[in-house]
């Protein structure tokens, strides 16, 4: 990191803990706006539960609409944390330090939001417990061969793992906060920090736990979106029944999640004035990573499209024809490619763009628009293809209720992040301090070269 500034421990404490110890002037208005947006969703759910799923655009045969699209989208965003935190930790990428916490919290918030959507989509929300083995007397069991049963297991495992991951990395910071607060907050941080004293043994154990969790969460990370993809792929719906769906969904999720982290980092940098911590170097590194991720995503995307056409099966060709040539799906196809790959990767090839914060912000949003559309493009046309019986033909038109639900999910995630920022630092204080210890320079001839320490 060439732009890393020399900062004292006191400066790091001051700059990173102020959002927790004080309240920014914009914080309450931001919370109010997020809560109002979330309120739209609560209203929509209330209407839907009261009046039934008829208020949505769902029909026969399009049983899965915006709610499932949104579910897949948020599960995708949740892949940011592990990608950034776990993989970069295992690779010892130094630039990860200020990015990890926010990415992990984004994972937890987006995954919790995603988990709500299948529940809402059920209509009868109060029957969610049917996915658990519950009726021992009558020997009624959920069908464990159904991916709809695998889904909750995978998501709750990931949510548990991701929460542990956040908590594990928070421990040293909770200790710092405990020592700087009074009253109920002191009690809260004292309980949460589990007796953290910051002695070498505790740091060693925390380090080992971090490495272990990083390794253990990786299979869960991959399995979650794979299982979500199998919700679709194990069925025989044309254009869904494709072997590539699992890695294709996972890499798409990483593309979307890491872009989400870029968006969030820009907002955090501006909102908390963390210019010394989140530097253009970080965006440069994320941009480079995204070039590789986006290219892998395009590879799987093209494999999916090519093989749908290759087989020459009438139904597959029919769906693909609809996806590529019919309004509005053809337009979405164009947008997915242009906004998801051509413009972003074309721009990220230039160092000046990767280091320009506003460009990165705009492009990261562009990618996520494309990724949301991609999920819509994947899910709906497969269901609304023409069947032999005319009463099975239909098109999907989302209702206002579904649009409100999608809109409100962004409010929920933002609210989660805002609440977290009030209680915990969004940049890990101890990691920043450790990063300062690992900062070195070496002199070669007349030139000073930035360097890092490797054990």
Residue 377: closest CA among 72, 38, 19, 53: 72
Nearer of residues 195 and 219 to another protein, judged by Cβ: 219
At its nearest, how many Å lie between another protein and the CB of residue 170?
A: 26
- Rule CB under 8 A: is residue 164 a binding residue for another protein? no
In whole angstroms, how close is the CB of 395 to another protein at the nearest point?
27
Our CB check for another protein shows the closer of 144 and 442 to be: 442
Q: 325, 366 in Cβ contact below 8 A?
A: no
Output the smallest distance, CB 110 to another protein, in A. 23
Pick 388 or 454: Cβ nearer another protein: 454
Measured from the CB atom, the residue of 313 and 392 that comes closer to another protein is 313
138 contacts another protein (rule: CB under 8 A): no
CB-wise, 117 or 249, nearer to another protein? Answer: 249
Candidate list 30, 234, 365, 403; residue touching another protein; CB under 8 A: 234
> Which residue in 303, 335, 353, 362 binds another protein (CB under 8 A)?
303
Contact between 143 and another protein by CB under 8 A: the answer reads no
Q: Is 201 in the site for another protein (CB under 8 A)?
A: no
Is residue 150 a contact residue for another protein (CB under 8 A)? no
Q: Out of 64, 117, 230, 333, name the contact with another protein by CB under 8 A.
A: 230
The alpha carbon of residue 380 and the mean position of all alpha carbons in its chain are separated, in whole angstroms, by 22
- Nearest residue to 74 (alpha-carbon basis) of 196, 158, 175, 195: 158
Kindly report the number of other CB atoms within 10 A of residue 188's CB atom: 15
- Of the ranges 43-51, 123-131, 162-170, 226-234, which one interacts with another protein (CB under 8 A)? 226-234
Interface map 427-446 toward another protein (x if CB under 8 A):
-------------x-x-x--
Check residue 33 for interaction with another protein (CB under 8 A): no
- Phi, psi (rounded to 5 degrees) for 385: -75, 155
Q: Are 260 and 241 in contact (CB under 8 A)?
A: no
Candidates 245, 274, 420, 430: give the one binding another protein (CB under 8 A).
Answer: 245
Q: Is 333 in the site for another protein (CB under 8 A)?
A: no
Nearest distance, CB of residue 126 and another protein, angstroms? 30
Q: Computed from CA positions of residues 111, 115, 121, 126, in that sequence, does the dihedral angle turn out positive or negative?
A: negative
Of the candidates 419, 443, 387, 325, the residue with the CA atom closest to the CA atom of residue 30:
419
Provide, rounded to whole angstroms, the least separation between the CB of residue 442 and another protein.
5
CA separation, residue 42 to residues 6, 126, 350, 356 (Å):
47, 15, 43, 38
Does the footprint of another protein cover residue 313 (CB under 8 A)?
yes
Q: Tokens 């413009």 sit at which residue?
A: 343
CB 264 within 8 A of CB 78: no
Handedness of CA 419, 421, 426, 429 (dihedral sign): negative
DSSP one-letter code for 278? S
Would you say 418 and 26 are in contact if contact means Cβ atoms under 8 Å apart? Answer: no
Contact between 358 and another protein (CB under 8 A)?
Answer: no
Q: Find residue 404's DSSP bridge partners.
A: none
Among 18, 241, 337, 369, binds another protein (CB under 8 A): 241
The closest alpha carbon to 57, from 379, 438, 419, 443, belongs to 379
* Options 18, 203, 299, 410; binder of another protein; rule CB under 8 A: 299
Rule CB under 8 A: is residue 389 a binding residue for another protein?
Answer: no
Q: Does 3 bind another protein (CB under 8 A)?
A: no
Check binding of 144 to another protein (CB under 8 A). Answer: no
Asked whether position 6 contacts another protein by CB under 8 A, the answer is no
Distance CA 101, CA 279 (A): 16
Question: For another protein, which is the closer residue by CB, 223 or 356?
Answer: 223
Among the candidate windows 227-235, 359-367, 411-419, 426-434, which touches another protein by CB under 8 A? 227-235
What are the Cα distances from residue 403, in Å, to 26, 70, 112, 409, 410?
Answer: 27, 10, 19, 10, 12
- 388 near another protein, rule: CB under 8 A: no
Residue 352 binding another protein, by CB under 8 A: no
Report residue 136 CA to chain centroid gap: 37
SS3 (DSSP) at 440: strand
Q: Where are the alpha helices (DSSP H) in 146-244?
A: 147-178, 183-192, 200-233
The rounded distance, in Å, linking the Cα atoms of 116 and 361 is 28
Per CB under 8 A, residues contacting another protein are 1-2, 219, 222, 226, 230, 233-234, 236, 241-247, 299-300, 303-304, 306-308, 310-313, 440, 442, 444, 449-455
């Amino acid at each position: 990191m060439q732009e890393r500034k020399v900062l004292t421990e006191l400066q790091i404490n001051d700059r990173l803990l102020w959002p927790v110890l004080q309240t920014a002037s914009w914080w309450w208005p931001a919370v109010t706006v997020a809560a109002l947006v979330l309120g739209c969703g609560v209203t929509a759910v209330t209407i839907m539960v009261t009046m039934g799923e008829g208020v949505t655009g769902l029909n026969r045969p399009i049983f899965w609409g915006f709610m499932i699209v949104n579910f897949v989208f948020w599960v995708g965003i949740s892949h940011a944390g592990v990608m950034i935190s776990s993989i970069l930790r295992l690779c010892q990428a130094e630039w990860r330090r200020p990015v990890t916490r926010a990415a992990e919290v984004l994972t937890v918030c987006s995954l919790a939001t995603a988990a709500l959507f299948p529940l809402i989509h059920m209509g009868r929300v109060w029957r969610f417990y049917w996915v658990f083995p519950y009726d021992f007397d009558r020997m009624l069991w959920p069908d464990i061969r159904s991916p709809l049963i695998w889904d909750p297991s995978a998501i709750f495992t990931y949510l548990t793992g991701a929460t542990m991951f956040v908590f594990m990395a928070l421990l040293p910071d909770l200790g710092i906060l405990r020592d700087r607060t009074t009253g109920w907050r002191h009690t809260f941080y004292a309980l949460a920090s589990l007796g953290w004293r910051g002695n070498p043994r505790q740091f060693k154990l925390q380090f080992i736990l971090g490495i272990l969790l990083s390794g253990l969460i990786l299979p869960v990370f991959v399995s979650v979106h794979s299982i979500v993809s199998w919700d679709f792929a194990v069925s025989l719906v044309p254009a869904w029944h494709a072997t590539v769906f699992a890695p294709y969904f996972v890499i798409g999720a990483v593309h979307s999640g890491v872009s989400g982290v870029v968006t969030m980092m820009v907002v955090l940098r501006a909102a908390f004035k963390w210019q010394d911590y989140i530097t253009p170097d970080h965006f440069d590194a994320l941009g480079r990573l995204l070039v590789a991720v986006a290219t892998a995503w395009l590879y799987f995307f093209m494999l999916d499209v090519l093989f749908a056409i290759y087989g020459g099966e009438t139904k597959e060709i029919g769906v693909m024809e609809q996806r590529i040539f019919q309004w509005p799906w053809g337009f979405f196809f164009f947008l997915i490619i242009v906004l998801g790959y051509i413009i972003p990767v074309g721009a990220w090839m230039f160092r000046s763009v990767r280091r320009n914060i506003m460009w990165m912000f705009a492009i990261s949003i562009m990618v996520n628009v494309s990724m949301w559309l991609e999920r819509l493009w994947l899910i709906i046309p497969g269901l609304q293809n023409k069947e032999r019986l005319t009463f099975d033909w239909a098109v999907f038109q989302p209702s206002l209720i579904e649009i409100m639900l999608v809109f409100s999910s962004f409010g929920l995630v933002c609210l989660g992040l805002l609440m977290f920022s009030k209680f915990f630092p969004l940049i890990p204080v101890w990691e920043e301090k450790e990063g300062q210890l690992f900062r070195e320079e070496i002199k070669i001839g007349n030139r000073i070269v930035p360097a890092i320490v490797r054990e």
